[in-house]
A and B are shown apart, each in its own frame.
Chain A
Amino acid sequence: MKAKQRAVCAVFLAALVLFSSLLVLLPARAVSAAERRPLAQLTSYREWLSGSTGGYSRSLSGYFAWLETVLQDQAPGRDALRRLRALAKLYLLGERDTDGYYAVDGSLCKLDSELSEKAVLRAAERFRQVYERYFKDSGAHLYYSVVPDKNVFAAPAGGYPHYDFDELRELFGACLPENFRELPIGGLTLADYYKTDPHWRQEQLLGTADALLCAMGAAPASQLDWQPVAAGEFIGAYAGHSALPAQPDELVYLTNDILAGAAVYDYESGKTAGIYTPENLANIDPYDVYLGGARALLSIDNPAQTNGRQLVVFRDSFGSSLVPLLVPSYSEVIVVDLRYVTPEALGRLVSFESGCDVLFLSSSAVLNSYGVYG
């Protein structure tokens, strides 16, 4: 009996001392690479009051609540503990998802079961504002495409709840002006997406790019020579957020001489760069290699194409990897992310040519998230 009592006390005290010591001795981590976010740092009350309070009330009790967040963020072995929790939820408690993340055929997905009409209508309203302001009676050719989220393929296969993708498409289309033509994105499967990330794989998108380009009367991309560049292992956002074990993906980008000669001007930074930014592979999100990542407004100049055609793409992050495949067919491509720039500001920065092609390319996940478009 005494041996048991001693063992219990020893285990408890050792765990307590070890955890506390590591918490004090280990250097504070600034960023969680897995969760892709800065971690809360220990600060004095005065310092905390002078900055952002992280959503807590500016009071002593708010500060104490903040300190608990610091403790959670700076806990020793945080990533391992997060992994342990995810596994316990799945295999010990039998939950079918962990914080909304689940795996089908080794591919991680995020539950999105309810169609948010409010969100879809809000997105359509934003696009309509852009249309009214810049493209009504401009002779522009207007197109839209909805990129299916991974759930569209994985949820039915895995028996997870999901909304009807076609219902979302139809609802969205019905809210857009009548002269918008839908360019359906077909032929994709779950294998065309990264296993650890929500995004699609660029090397799988030549067929999709061809379908869009042909529908817009432009030269198909697949006729060109493309060199795949292996950029190394890629552990995507879903793997980090869910903390579920996953094999890393391989990040590949397609390039050729035409893209090598193209110049991307970033209106935010005022800098010009290439289509791909390999230095961004070291970023928290290596997906930033495509068009520099999340940018509000880009202008891509393609000197190799002399047809004088301009393409304007209103996109979200899915567009980052697709747009490079569209570039060779146009002399100029304007890339806009309406999540980061208002329609009003757009006209002060860029000019749209009459008769240009305009493609509104949105992922279903973004369309179905209320608040993304204001």
Chain B
Amino acid sequence: MLLVYLLVPARGRNAVLLAASLLFYFWGEPLYLLVMLGTAALGWLAGLALGRARGARAERPLCWLFSALCLAPLLFFKYTDFFLSNWNALTGRAAPLLGLALPLGISFYTFQVLSYVLDVRRGTVAVQKNLLDFLTYVTLFPQLVAGPIVRYETVERELRSRRTTLADFSSGVTRLCVGLGKKVLLANSLALLVSREGAGTSVLGCWLVSFGYTLQLYFDFSGYSDMAIGLGRMFGFHFPENFEHPYCAKSVAEFWRRWHISLGSWFRDYVYIPLGGNRCPRLRWLGNILAVWLLTGFWHGASWTFLLWGLYFAALLLGEKLLWGKGLARLPGPVQSALLLLAVNFSFVLFRAETLPEAGRLLGGMLGLGVPAATGSALYSLSSFGLLLVIAAVGATELPKKLAAKACGLAGGRAGTVLEPLFCLAVLALTAAFLVSGSFNPFLYFRF
């Protein structure tokens, strides 16, 4: 596919990308391809309609209507059973649940389409009249199923015209390899630790699970983003960064500027600021914060654990802004980072749990409630995965990036000519080795 893409004339490249993207999605979700195409077609029609209605009284209701229509599949597939089961629990009824599988990447492509519709309404992007180009944007396979959430304005120009340069292609390859290594070598190996100690039968075991999962989630998700950004570059696109070493942050607010950046900025620009942001009375501002974080939690999944997870971050952010933020800022940097990491670690216990009691059990275990300090199994896991945890913890900082830049700069930059291709080759060989004999390890963010 890559060769075909590089060989066809520029005007045919979107068609090649679209065909590849549809095949890619069809491979994973044959039936739900229609849902994705339907949402994309709605978004395209919305753009046309809003373009024609510009300045007219119908523009605003049209925007609402199309936004609601674009959101409808997401609400239906992702949230119906949540509302039904809670309705059943409240009323004692037994309305049957739908039990539908969630279409792959629906939360991501729906938000992409919505961003386009809202941006057309705002007049910040031009209406895309070419259906093929618009479908190419929505279905772009590198970031289709797990982000980053690429806004239309980011790739508007590149959809029309782009060049794949040698520099872009090679940096894309390196970025792809970094992502592969993060996902296949680190995240999947950490997943083994998490599943082995998943029962959380000791304090040590519970901490291994929570810390292991915190690292796994970062490498899994940021690895996917790296692959998406790398593949994008190989095809001439420049997607936004989605992670900036979030575990090095010193505050919760900074963490969210570094973690899943495309989602955070989406909610900021399309929910928080339109609601009034912080330029409004304090009570309203509190409401805005709560609304955004409830929605952020709910975006991740239709369960109380995710809602609570969102509220947890809302509480931390409010506490940081109103209560302890200034005091924290006076502490040494590493202490601030450690405290942040601890807070994030606790949050991901909620994030990982299927149910609130499950999260409660693990949190209780971490605090030593009703479990021994360590079991033989936990001690073995620590000895077996200790090095991996250290590698992953260091890998989550900026240190590897700095070291790589320094190493490649040796001998007047000539070292990079050998080291970077060798790095890529080693990662490709190792990931092939891990994938060939490994078990099924889907990306954690695929379920969103």
Contact = CB atoms under 8 A, between A and B. Distances in A.
Interface of A: 1-12, 15-16, 19, 59-61, 64, 72, 75, 78, 81-82, 84-85, 88-89, 92-97, 113-114, 159-161, 243
A10 B173 CA distance: 10
A96 B383 contact: yes
A160 B27 CA distance: 42
B420 interface: yes
A88 B177 CA distance: 17
Contacts, number: 113
A8 B438 contact: no
B271 interface: no
Contacts of B376: 113, 161
B384 interface: yes
Given A64-B27, A88-B430, A95-B384, A5 B437 contact: no
A161 B185 CA distance: 25
A229 B29 CA distance: 57
A330 B28 CA distance: 61
Interface stretch (B55-63, B118-126, B303-311, B386-394): B386-394
A7 B420 contact: yes
A78 B421 contact: no
A160 B380 contact: yes
Interface string B280-301: 0000000000000000000000
B425 A64 contact: no
Nearest to B380: A161
A12 B424 contact: yes
Given A72-B437, A161-B380, A15 B388 contact: no
Contacts of B410: none
Contacts of B408: 4
Given A72-B437, A89-B189, A95-B385, A60 B30 contact: yes
8 contacts: A4-B417, A6-B170, A8-B173, A10-B421, A15-B425, A61-B31, A78-B436, A95-B387
B369 interface: no
Contact of A81 (B2, B28, B167, B437): B437
A39 B171 CA distance: 37
For the complex of A and B, the 8 pairs showing the least CB-CB separation, nearest first, are: A94-B387, A5-B170, A96-B384, A85-B433, A84-B433, A81-B433, A8-B170, A7-B421
A52 B43 CA distance: 42
Contacts of B420: 4, 7-8
Contact of A82 (B27, B170, B387, B437): B437
Given A95-B189, A95-B388, A96-B383, A7 B417 contact: yes
A12 B180 CA distance: 13
Given A4-B417, A5-B166, A96-B384, A85 B30 contact: no
Nearest to B435: A72
A176 B432 CA distance: 49
B161 interface: no
B2 A6 contact: no
B429 interface: yes
A71 to B, nearest CB: 9
Given A81-B432, A161-B380, A2 B30 contact: no
Contact of A11 (B169, B421, B432): B421
A61 B385 contact: no
A82 B170 CA distance: 28
Contacts of A85: 430, 433-434, 436-438
Interface in B382-406: 383-388, 391
Contact of B428 (A12, A92, A159): A12
Contacts of B2: 16
B277 interface: no
Interface in B14-62: 27-31
Contacts of A10: 421
Contacts of B173: 8-9, 12
Of the listed residues B28, B169, B420, B433, the one surrounded by the most CB atoms of chain A closer than 10 A to its CB is B433
Given A10-B421, A161-B376, A81 B436 contact: yes
Contact of B387 (A60, A72, A93): A93
Given A81-B432, A88-B433, A4 B377 contact: no
Nearest to A19: B432
Contacts of A92: 430
Interface of B: 2, 27-31, 166-167, 169-171, 173-174, 177, 185, 189, 376-377, 380, 383-388, 391, 408, 413, 416-418, 420-421, 424-425, 428-430, 432-438
Contacts of A12: 173, 177, 424, 428
A259 B377 CA distance: 46
Contacts of B177: 12
A19 B27 CA distance: 21
A328 B2 CA distance: 69
Contacts of A16: 2
A240 to B, nearest CB: 12
Contacts of B383: 96, 159
Contact of B388 (A81, A93, A97): A93
Contacts of A19: 432
Contact of B174 (A8, A96, A114): A8
Nearest to A82: B437
Given A8-B424, A72-B437, A97-B384, A61 B166 contact: no
Nearest to A243: B437
A82 B174 CA distance: 24
Contacts of B416: 4
B22 to A, nearest CB: 14
Given A6-B170, A85-B438, A95-B387, 9 more contacts: A1-B167, A5-B171, A8-B424, A12-B428, A15-B425, A82-B436, A94-B385, A95-B189, A96-B380
B434 A9 contact: no
A98 to B, nearest CB: 10
A3 B419 CA distance: 12
Contact of B166 (A2, A15, A97): A2
B417 A3 contact: yes
Contacts of A75: 432, 436
Nearest to B168: A5
Contacts of B388: 93-95
A212 to B, nearest CB: 33
Contact of A94 (B29, B386, B432): B386
Contacts of B185: 88, 93
Nearest to A16: B2
Contacts of A64: 27-28, 30
Contact of B170 (A9, A94, A96): A9
Contacts of B424: 8, 11-12
A4 B437 contact: no
Given A61-B28, A64-B27, A96-B383, A84 B430 contact: yes
A81 to B, nearest CB: 4
B66 to A, nearest CB: 30
Contacts of B391: 93
Nearest to A12: B173
Nearest to B408: A4
A61 B377 contact: no
A155 to B, nearest CB: 10
Nearest to B169: A9
